[in-house]
Structure 1
């Protein structure tokens, strides 16, 4: 395996583990269903994702 290949694999796993790839998957999915769909910015997407995660009692983000 070349160094470039190893770095590409490492980048892939870091992006998947950190959740950074979620936005890219969301945009690809939205564009595949409606090419003219308005896609939120990465910041808006992450904010909505965080809000949804915090609102879910199973996630354990609630206070007290």
Structure 2
């Protein structure tokens, strides 16, 4: 009779495997965004909301321009 021998673990269900892969992929994306700095604007918005409630934050475009200008004026060890 086919099936799983007694005591052997059941094979993983496809939905469980897919959920695990999706969770792993989201973790990889989260990590890479942090390493590459792509999450800087989101972190800025969270910080701004905590420390300056009632004041409008910079637009995303203005934020990135200000960040790049600051980095040009203050060079630090970076790859590029």
- Report the aligned-residue RMSD: 1.8
Return the TM-score normalized by structure 2. 0.65
More helix by share: 1
Dislocated runs of 4+, deviation >2 Å: none
Number of corresponding residues: 59
How many Å separate the matches in 2 of 1:17 and 1:36? 31
Structure 2: gaps (5+ residues): 1-16
Structure 1: gaps (5+ residues): none
The structure that has the greater radius of gyration is 2
Return the TM-score normalized by structure 1. 0.78
Residue 37 of structure 1 and its aligned partner are, at CA, apart by 1.5
